C-alpha cells in the first residue's frame, strides 16, 4: 500500500478517537515542550555569559608577571608586585608578533577620586590608547587621549560611568572638569560607554583610565609594568597568538629551555571553555530528562496502541479477509503510532518555543531556541513512535484472521 493511503487510513483512525489521540500525544507534547524550553533557557544563559565574556574582549590576551622560582624558598609574592614585565617586552611583542592586532601595557592603582564635595574610591588604570581597542570600548562623550599625552605623561583621564555617577550630579557635563586622584589633578577628556558587570559580577564601569606613563611615573613611581593586554587578530588565532607571545617573552627575558616562564599568558577563550563545560553538563542533564519524559510518552503510545489493536480486532480480521497482508496491518498501526508521536512532536515544539518566549517576556530570562534541540526532539519522537508502536503493530499483524473476524 502506498504511503499516501497508509497516512489516510491512519489519519481516519485517529480522527475517530480525537480526544484519545490527543491525550496520548500529551505525553510527547509535554516531554518535547519541556526539552525545548529547558534547552532554550540553558542556551540563553550560556549565550548571555558568552556575551558578557565577549564584552571583556573575546580575543583579549592578558599577560601577567609570574614567579619562576619554585616554591620552597622564601615568601611568594603577589603577582602585581613582581617586576618581570617591562616596556621593552611590550615593544618586543609589538615588533615581532604577527597574530596581534594591538597591545597595551597596564599599571593600576587604587585610590580616592575627589571632585569638590564628592569623593569615590576607585581604580585608575594606566594604559595606551590601544587598550580601549582591545577591550572594544567606546567613549560616550569626549575623546581618547593621544599618543603624545602618553609620552608627555599628561594628566588627562577618561572616567567610567560609575565614577561619573559618584563624582558628578546627574546631568553635569564632566568633560573639561578637573578631578583629583590621590591628590594629583586629572583633566577629564572623555566619558566611557557603559560596559556593565563582567562575568564575575565586577563593575567594569568603576574605573578611571589615564595614559600609561602618567600612572606609572607620576602616581606609582615605578619602572616595571603590571600587566600587558593584547588583542589577537581574531578569536580563532588566540592560541597561536598566546604561543607566539610566550616565545617572544622567553627570548627577551633570556630564559633557558629548562627555566619556567616568569610570566603568564591568559585568554578569554579559556574562561569561555570553563563556562561551556558547565553548560555542557546542563545539556546532558536536560537530555536525560528529555529521554525520561519521551520514554513515558512512548509507553503511553504503546499502551494506547495495544488498546487500539484489541478494540479493532474485528477490523483487522476484516482487512485480512479482504486481502491485507501482515505487513499491511503492521504498517497501518505503525503509521498511526508514528503519526501520534510526530504530531505530538510538532505541537510540543510549538509549545516549547512559545513557553521559551513567555519566559523571556515575563521572567526576563534570556532564552535561545536552538535548531539542534528541535531536530533532536523530532528525531527522538519518530524513533519513539516506531519503537513503541512496533510491538502492538506486530501483534496486530500476527492475528489469525478467523479468530479476529469472530472477535466480539
Which residues bind to other proteins, rule: CB under 8 A? 1-2, 5, 9, 12, 16, 314-315, 317-328, 401-402, 405
In this complex, which beta carbon is closest to other proteins, that of residue 177 or of residue 395? 395
**Sign of dihedral through CA atoms 283, 285, 286, 288?**
positive
* Torsion, Cα of 182, 185, 190, 194 (10° steps): 20
Which residue, 222 or 405, has its beta carbon nearer to other proteins?
405
Q: Which is nearer to other proteins, 18 or 183 (CB)?
A: 18
Q: How many other CB atoms are there within 10 angstroms of residue 11's CB atom?
A: 15
DSSP string, 90-136: HHHHHHH-SSEEEEEEEEEEEEEEEETTEEEEEEEEEE-THHHHHTT
Widest distance between CA atoms in the chain? 105
In the complex, least distance from residue 20 CB atom to other proteins, rounded to whole angstroms: 14
Nearer Cβ to other proteins, position 4 or 362?
4
Q: Which is nearer to other proteins, 19 or 322 (CB)?
A: 322
Nearer to other proteins, 272 or 324 (CB): 324
Alpha helices in 222-370 (DSSP H): 238-252, 268-311, 313-321, 326-358
CA dihedral 341, 346, 347, 353 (to 10 degrees): 140
Residue 325 CB, shortest distance to other proteins, in Å, is 4
Closest approach of other proteins to the CB of residue 309, in Å: 15
- 294 with 50: CB under 8 angstroms? no
Query: Least distance to other proteins from the beta carbon of 3, Å?
Result: 12
Taking the least distance from each CB to other proteins, the nearer of 109 and 332 is 332
Helix (H, G, I), strand (E, B) or coil at 199: coil
| Shortest spacing between CB 37 and other proteins, in angstroms | 37
Provide the 3-class DSSP secondary structure of residue 405.
Answer: helix
Q: Least CB distance from residue 26 to other proteins, whole Å? A: 23
Residue of 324, 387, 376, 316 whose CA lies nearest to 348: 376
In angstroms, give the least distance from the CB of 323 to other proteins. Answer: 2
Amino acid at each position: 500500500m502506498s504511503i499516501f493511503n497508509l497516512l489516510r487510513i491512519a489519519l481516519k483512525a485517529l480522527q475517530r478517537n480525537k480526544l484519545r489521540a490527543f491525550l496520548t500525544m500529551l505525553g510527547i507534547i509535554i516531554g518535547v515542550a519541556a526539552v525545548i524550553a529547558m534547552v532554550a533557557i540553558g542556551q540563553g544563559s550560556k549565550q548571555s555569559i558568552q556575551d558578557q565574556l565577549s564584552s571583556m574582549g573575546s580575543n583579549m590576551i592578558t599577560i601577567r608577571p609570574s614567579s619562576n622560582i619554585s616554591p620552597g624558598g622564601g615568601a611568594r609574592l603577589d603577582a602585581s608586585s613582581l617586576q618581570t614585565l617591562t616596556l621593552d617586552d611590550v615593544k618586543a611583542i609589538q615588533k615581532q608578533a604577527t597574530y596581534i592586532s594591538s597591545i597595551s601595557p597596564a599599571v593600576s592603582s587604587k585610590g580616592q577620586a575627589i571632585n569638590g564635595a564628592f569623593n569615590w574610591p576607585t581604580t585608575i588604570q594606566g594604559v595606551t590608547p590601544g587598550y580601549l581597542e582591545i577591550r572594544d570600548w567606546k567613549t560616550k562623550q569626549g575623546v581618547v587621549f593621544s599618543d603624545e599625552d602618553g609620552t608627555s605623561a599628561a594628566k588627562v583621564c577618561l572616567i567610567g560611568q560609575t565614577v561619573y555617577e559618584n563624582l558628578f550630579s546627574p546631568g553635569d557635563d564632566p568633560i573639561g572638569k578637573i578631578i583629583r586622584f590621590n591628590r594629583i589633578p586629572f583633566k577629564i577628556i572623555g566619558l566611557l560607554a557603559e560596559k556593565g558587570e563582567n562575568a564575575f559580577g565586577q563593575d567594569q564601569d568603576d574605573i578611571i583610565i589615564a595614559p600609561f606613563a602618567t600612572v606609572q611615573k607620576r602616581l606609582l613611581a615605578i619602572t616595571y609594568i603590571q600587566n600587558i593586554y593584547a588583542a589577537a587578530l581574531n578569536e580563532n588565532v588566540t592560541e597561536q597568538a598566546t604561543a607566539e607571545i610566550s616565545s617572544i617573552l622567553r627570548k627577551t627575558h633570556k630564559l633557558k629551555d629548562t627555566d619556567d616562564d616568569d610570566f603568564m599568558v591568559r585568554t578569554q577563550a579559556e574562561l569561555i571553555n570553563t563556562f561551556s563545560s558547565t553548560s555542557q553538563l546542563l545539556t546532558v542533564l536536560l537530555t536525560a530528562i528529555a529521554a525520561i519524559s519521551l520514554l513515558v510518552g512512548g509507553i503511553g503510545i504503546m499502551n494506547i496502541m495495544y488498546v487500539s489493536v484489541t478494540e479493532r480486532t474485528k477490523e483487522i480480521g476484516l482487512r485480512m479477509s479482504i486481502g491485507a497482508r501482515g505487513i499491511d496491518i503492521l504498517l497501518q498501526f505503525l503509521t498511526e503510532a508514528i503519526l501520534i508521536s510526530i504530531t505530538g512532536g510538532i505541537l510540543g515544539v510549538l509549545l516549547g518555543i512559545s513557553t521559551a518566549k513567555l519566559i523571556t517576556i515575563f521572567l526576563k530570562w534570556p532564552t535561545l531556541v536552538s535548531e539542534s534541540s528541535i531536530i533532536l526532539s523530532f528525531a527522538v519522537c519518530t524513533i519513539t513512535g516506531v519503537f513503541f508502536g512496533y510491538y502492538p503493530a506486530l501483534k496486530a499483524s500476527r492475528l489469525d484472521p478467523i479468530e479476529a473476524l469472530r472477535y466480539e
